[in-house]
Structure 1
Amino acid sequence: MSQHILIVEDEQSLAQVLGEYLNQSGFITDIINDGVSVVDWVKKHTIDLIILDLMLPGKNGLDIYRELRTFTNVPVVMATARVDEIDRLIGLELGADDYICKPYSPREVVVRVKNILRRTHDDVKVSSQVLSIDEATMQVLVKGKEVNLTRAEFRLLFHFYQHRDRVFSRDQLMSQIYSDNRIVTDRTIDSHIKNLRRKIQSVDAEVDCIQSIYGVGYRFAL
């Protein structure tokens, strides 16, 4: 069955070109050219991924993303012509799956979409007495209580769990979350780790599953 991609882009010619490339790669595409109707449309349709422009008439992409995350974990690729680092960090710390800067190559976008969907659909579920992680639903349970994580936080936790005996540097962790080597700083990873710890300990204060290794990085501690 073909996977369904929603393109949210106010530049109609760009959206059509990207749609054609995705169609040629076997995807079904729909295009929305404004920000106002996106959330309601997504609620009524089953889609596999959204390519979401940040600068849209009616409602900006970050506000749309926040609304989407209240009811769906569908992968989101953010697109913008604003390339300053602050926008990149804001978009990705919200949990977006990827980030592309205009002007971009439609072929590159297709490759990224395929990689994200391949990763998303290769789901596993792991659990222990303390922690349960379901990759398909992004559900995390700590001693049976649910913890709501951003997609970036979830990826970090899942990566740590899968490699429980290893210590990872910040650079290694960044490459796991941002596979295209985008511009992020050490503080971005530190922020994700801090938020991850805080959310887990808000459920159970005795559970601290990420350990800092001075001068090296982080490791799983359960």
Structure 2
Amino acid sequence: MTARVLIAEDDEKQAELVRRYLEREGHTVVVVGDGRAALEQVRQHPPELLILDVMMPKVDGLDVCRILRRESDLPVLMLTARATEDDLLLGLDLGADDYMTKPYSPRELVARVRTLLRRSQRTTRAADPVLRVGDLHVDPIRHEVRVDGRRVDCTPGEFQLLQAMAAQPGRAFTRDQLLGHLHGFDKYITGRTVDVHVMNLRRKIEPNPRKPVRLLTVYGVGYKLAEVNHHAA
């Protein structure tokens, strides 16, 4: 299970150590050094989990947690040098999902991250209709597509095809099967319509449309959405 993890920690050496451990687990890691940058990052490029130091410049971790809890259910693992019971209870009362005191074992932190992500994924599957394939998110309720946190505008036809493939990543769809997902369109559409939608989608979701890594051609069959995204060099 891999995820996009945001580390908000002003101690550069500590942040670098945690980043290396998490990247070994396959996670994509972003590091910021103050609370204001953490809030901006969460809002612009939502991670799957936030590792949040309490003592930070500009906006401290407690205020960051308080603000984020009004906006989202993002899992938060709070780090602090304060080890009193009152400090722990305050962090949990503000909405932190877990709490570790410094100094801590990086291996234990990675294990806690793994547990929080599993818990979050179970909750998401039960309550959240968003289809997630790596860093590609398709939201059928809001009719939104995001790639690495960036919103992508799609036509109704493009959205319907992408939604169908995101629901079954790795499955190869024939053009006829994909045509069956184009509800409410002119009855004279053809397989060429699917090709045009795929070409346009690649321009929007691929790092390099000429060398797709997400929306792949299955020669002799049709198309599929890759189960794991590999960023193009």
TM-score class, shorter: 0.5 to 0.7
Partner of 1:58: 58
> How many percent of aligned residue pairs carry the same amino acid?
43
Query: Which consecutive unaligned segments of at least 5 residues does structure 2 have?
Result: 130-233
Tell me if 1:45 matches 2:45. yes
- Cα offsets for 1:44-83 (capped at 9, x unmatched): 0021000000000111111111111121111000100010
If you compute each CA radius of gyration, which structure gives the higher value, 1 or 2? 2
Structure 1 Cα separation of the partners of residues 63 and 119 of structure 2: 26
Partner of 1:113: 113
CA spacing shift, 1:124–1:8, aligned 2, 3 Å: closer
Q: Secondary structure at the match of 1:79?
A: strand
- Cα offsets for 1:10-29 (capped at 9, x unmatched): 10000001000000001010
CA spacing shift, 1:95–1:135, aligned 2, 3 Å: farther
Contact residue 7 and residue 30 of structure 2 kept, 8 A: yes
Structure 2 Cα separation of the partners of residues 74 and 21 of structure 1: 21
Report 1:187-198 matches (<5 A): none
Tell me if 1:21 matches 2:21. yes
CA spacing shift, 1:76–1:124, aligned 2, 3 Å: closer
Structure 2 Cα separation of the partners of residues 135 and 106 of structure 1: 31
Structure 2 Cα separation of the partners of residues 66 and 124 of structure 1: 22
Structure 1 Cα separation of the partners of residues 62 and 109 of structure 2: 20
CA spacing shift, 1:124–1:20, aligned 2, 3 Å: closer
CA spacing shift, 1:124–1:9, aligned 2, 3 Å: closer
Structure 2 Cα separation of the partners of residues 124 and 39 of structure 1: 22
Give the counterpart letter for 1:9 in structure 2.
Answer: E
Structure 2 Cα separation of the partners of residues 78 and 136 of structure 1: 24
Structure 2 Cα separation of the partners of residues 98 and 123 of structure 1: 16
Partner of 1:100: 100
Q: How far 1:34 sits from its partner (Å)?
A: 1.2
Alignment size in residue pairs: 129
Q: Secondary structure at the match of 1:122?
A: helix
CA spacing shift, 1:102–1:135, aligned 2, 3 Å: farther
TM-score between both structures, scaled by the size of structure 2: 0.52
Contact residue 120 and residue 136 of structure 1 kept, 8 A: no
Contact residue 5 and residue 48 of structure 2 kept, 8 A: yes
Partner of 1:11: 11
Contact residue 2 and residue 25 of structure 2 kept, 8 A: no
Partner of 1:83: 83
CA spacing shift, 1:36–1:123, aligned 2, 3 Å: closer
Partner of 1:150: none
Q: How far 1:123 sits from its partner (Å)?
A: 2.7
Structure 1 Cα separation of the partners of residues 85 and 95 of structure 2: 16
Q: How far 1:99 sits from its partner (Å)?
A: 0.1
Structure 1 Cα separation of the partners of residues 128 and 113 of structure 2: 17
Structure 2 Cα separation of the partners of residues 112 and 136 of structure 1: 23
Give the counterpart letter for 1:57 in structure 2.
Answer: P
The runs of at least 4 consecutive aligned structure 1 residues that moved more than 3 Å come to 134-137
Structure 2 Cα separation of the partners of residues 66 and 110 of structure 1: 24
Q: How far 1:136 sits from its partner (Å)?
A: 4.5
Q: How far 1:2 sits from its partner (Å)?
A: 3.6
